[in-house]
Structure formats: structure tokens, C-alpha cells
Copies of this chain bind each other. A is one copy, B any other.
């Protein structure tokens, strides 16, 4: 690749490119978490694969947990997926979830997390909780941007139930691969999920 660099562009400058480093770290993290599971993954191994120093990862993400959360596709893209009309939020969540899983379920860290939960329940619990908190924050900002922490509402519960529906579908369709969910057309699954998520969030 370096051979194709425009002449005169110093290598040193590329190495200092923070966005490029961030992307390389996230890519390496995603593959390493998927291959080795959360508990056995080290920042050192990710640094090696990304071709950066351990210290640089710490500067960008501070902890392994934060790096994991940044690397999980659904979590990472949540703001982008959720942004828009509150009324059609369920449609976007369902569509974003199915699209992401159809693209690369085998390498999805959520799938890896569910698979590794058997041997590492506390970590799985901790990470699921962190993902859920993030979802609550993002959905709340879409649903009630003027009252970001309306007391007494039950959005936490609704998001937890919504999350468990997605965890269950992930398990049935992408891990155990039971029918009829396993062979359902993505569009049909999206449609079914949209209806259920709308009920969970709004009814």
C-alpha cells in the first residue's frame, strides 16, 4: 500500500492520523473479540494486529470494556441508526438490527458475547448492561429530546424488554438457527420485529 502513496506524503504524517488509527484499532478489536472471546482478549494483542502501540489504544479508548463497546457494531452505530422521527424509531431499530446481522452475524461481537456467556457470565452481564444503558440514552434522546431524563417513565424497562427480544432472535436465528426464523427473509423478519418493538416501546 505504501508504494501507492502519493509521492511527498510523509509516512510519519500517516502514522499520526488519529482517525486512521482509531479505525484500525476498532477493526482489530472486532476480530480479536470474535475469535478469542472477551475474557481472553488483551489490549496488547489488539495493538499488535492494528500495528499501533498499547499506549495509543489506552489513549483512544482507556479500557478494554470501552473498546469492546465501541467495536460492537450495533452499539457503535446506534446514534446514526436511531436518529430521526420518534414515531418510526422501532422501524429503524428493527431494520438496523437485521441489516447488521445479515451482513456479518458470524463476526458480530454480540453473537460472540452470547456464545461466551456460558463460561463467563459476569462479563457477559456487565457488557450487556453497558450496551443496554447506551441504548436507553440514545433512544431517550430520540423519543424525548427536550426531557432527556424524564423521571418516572419506564423507558429502562421497555428498552430491556426490547433488548431481550433482540437477544432471543439472535440466539434462535443466528446461533441455534431454528426454523422458521432461521430461513425467514430479512424483510419479513424486519417487518415482524418492527411490530413487536413498536408495541414494546409505545403501547
Give chain A's interface residues, CB within 8 Å of chain B. 114-119, 121, 124-125, 128-129, 132, 156-157, 160-161, 163-169, 171-173, 175-181, 184, 192, 195-196, 199-200, 203
A161 touches B192 (CB 8 A): yes
Give chain B residues whose Cβ lies under 8 Å from the Cβ of A164.
Answer: 165, 168-169, 171-173, 181
A125 touches B160 (CB 8 A): no
Cα separation A173 to B128 with both chains bound (whole Å): 11
Q: Which of B117, B163, B192 makes the CB contact (< 8 A) with A168?
A: B163
**What are 8 residue pairs bridging A and B, where the CB atoms are less than 8 Å apart in the complex?**
A116-B118, A121-B175, A125-B176, A128-B176, A157-B180, A160-B180, A165-B168, A165-B196
Cα separation A49 to B83 with both chains bound (whole Å): 57
Q: Taking the nearest CB of chain B, how far is it from the CB of A28, in angstroms?
A: 23
Interface centre among A121, A129, A176 (most CB of B within 10 A): A176
Identify the closest chain B residue to A167 (Cβ).
B168
B176 touches A121 (CB 8 A): yes
Q: Which of B119, B172, B199 makes the CB contact (< 8 A) with A195?
A: B199
Cα separation A178 to B160 with both chains bound (whole Å): 9
Give chain B residues whose Cβ lies under 8 Å from the Cβ of A196.
Answer: 161, 165, 196, 199-200
Q: Taking the nearest CB of chain B, how far is it from the CB of A63, in angstroms?
A: 19
Give chain B residues whose Cβ lies under 8 Å from the Cβ of A172.
Answer: 128, 160, 163-164, 167
A132 touches B178 (CB 8 A): yes
